[in-house]
Amino acid sequence: MGRDTRRTRLLLAILLAATFTLVTIDYRTGRAGSGARGAAQSVFGPVETAASAVVRPVGRTASSLTHPNRYHDRADRLAQQNAQLRRQLASNAAVTQEAAQLSALRLIADRGQYTIAPARVTSVGDVTGTDWTVTINAGRADGIKADELVLNEAGLVGTVVTVSATSSTVRLICDPDSHIGARLEKTHLLGAIAGGNGPNSLSFTLYDASFQVRKGDRLVTFGSLDYAAGVPIGVVTKVLDSGSGLSRTAEVTPYVNVGTLDTVGIIVARPARDPGDRVLPPLPVPAPKKPATRAPVAPTATGPATTGPATGGPTATGPATGGPLAPGGTR
């Protein structure tokens, strides 16, 4: 066929040898972000941020144009005006939505007295679409460090893995390599939450088999030197009894929907004290199973937090420690 010359085959052999070398080196030395990876991220992070800023309004305009335009054949002028107003409405809606997301994020951060850096998701996954990661438009310049927790208004999103100057990569909680210490609400028994079962399911392993995990139990992060405690993770939906093992496992549905991530916050500083369970949304008052023990306290302190608009931070902080959050003051 004339295309497969000896030189081409030699070239292929060299390239394949190069890939095998790369795979071997990277596999042997661990997956820590090497120099080349960091450099690529610091070059492409800003490009992705810029591209995402361009693409977002285009998508918005496209979605506003898909509405049927009834004035089209009646008057061009009206049609144009109409389209422009629709665009404006769509963009207003987007701004309102963003503001709502930010204030909801603010409220959840205030409840835990976390100091957060807000960021937006600029790209999702990798080129193959199989990595459970997102890139966000905040990095070292915003005070972000590896291993910090990322949350949105619903709960835990993931952990920061690599950081460049202006962007970072976040490993989502549903990634197979994600393992985060977790505990059940109202207990201090250590367990771990892991991904790998798709976007809407996590597996929780409790290291104490004598404790009974029940459906409907809620999980928060355990907290350690590296990451903040008390961030809501999800609800147990199914207990998988392992029989006579030393641990118990359960299926957990995360609060966060990873398909629709947009505004997120990175916990850059946290209170000296464990915020306990108060970051979790208050339980509904007519509890179906049994009256919740913290019902008398919760509604007054955190009642309007999940639905209310921005009613000001201080009212939403925990009952015991009161006081508004002084950003950065605890560091």
Partner 1 sequence: MTGLRATPVLASAAALVVAVIAQLVVIGPLPLPFGRPDLVLVLLACIALIEGPATGAVLGFGAGLLGDLLSLHVLGQLALVFCLVGYLVGMLGAEVEGSVAASLVVIAGSAAVATVGYAAISAILGDPALSPRSVVPHAAGSAGYALLVAPFLFPLVAAALRRVEGGRAVR
331 lies in the binding site for partner 1 (CB under 8 A): no
85 lies in the binding site for partner 1 (CB under 8 A): no
Name residue 253's amino acid: T
As measured in angstroms, the least distance from the Cβ of 17 to partner 1 is 10
Among 83, 94, 102, 124, binds partner 1 (CB under 8 A): 124
Q: CA nearest 119: which of 178, 162, 166, 165?
A: 166
Among 64, 101, 113, 135, binds partner 1 (CB under 8 A): 135
Strand pairing class (115-124; 168-172): unpaired
Strand pairing class (179-184; 168-172): unpaired
Q: Going residue by residue from 39 to 68, which x/- string records binding to partner 1, judged by CB under 8 A? A: -xx--x--xx--xx--x-------------
34 lies in the binding site for partner 1 (CB under 8 A): yes
Q: Which residues pair with 210 in a beta bridge?
A: none
C-alpha Rg value of the chain to the nearest Å: 24
All residues at 6 or more sequence positions from 124 whose CB lies less than 8 Å from its CB, including other chains: 133, 134, 135, 261
As measured in angstroms, the least distance from the Cβ of 24 to partner 1 is 8
Phi, psi (rounded to 5 degrees) for 256: -85, 135
Instruction: Outline where the chain has alpha helix (H).
Output: 6-28, 35-65, 76-112, 298-302
As measured in angstroms, the least distance from the Cβ of 273 to partner 1 is 33
77-85, 115-123, 143-151, 306-314 -> range binding partner 1 (CB under 8 A): 115-123
Q: Which 254-273 residues touch partner 1, going by CB under 8 A?
A: 259
31-39, 78-86, 278-286, 294-302 -> range binding partner 1 (CB under 8 A): 31-39
Q: Which 213-232 residues touch partner 1, going by CB under 8 A?
A: none
Strand pairing class (218-221; 202-206): unpaired
> Which CB sits closer to partner 1, 52 or 315?
52
CB 164 within 8 A of CB 133: no
> Which CB sits closer to partner 1, 15 or 141?
15
All residues at 6 or more sequence positions from 133 whose CB lies less than 8 Å from its CB, including other chains: 124, 125, 126, 158, 161, 169, 170, 171, 172, 175
As measured in angstroms, the least distance from the Cβ of 43 to partner 1 is 9
Q: Which spans of this chain sit near partner 1 (rule: CB under 8 A)?
A: 1-5, 7-8, 11-12, 15-16, 18-23, 25-27, 31, 34, 36-37, 40-41, 44, 47-48, 51-52, 55, 121-131, 133, 135, 161-162, 169, 171, 176-177, 259
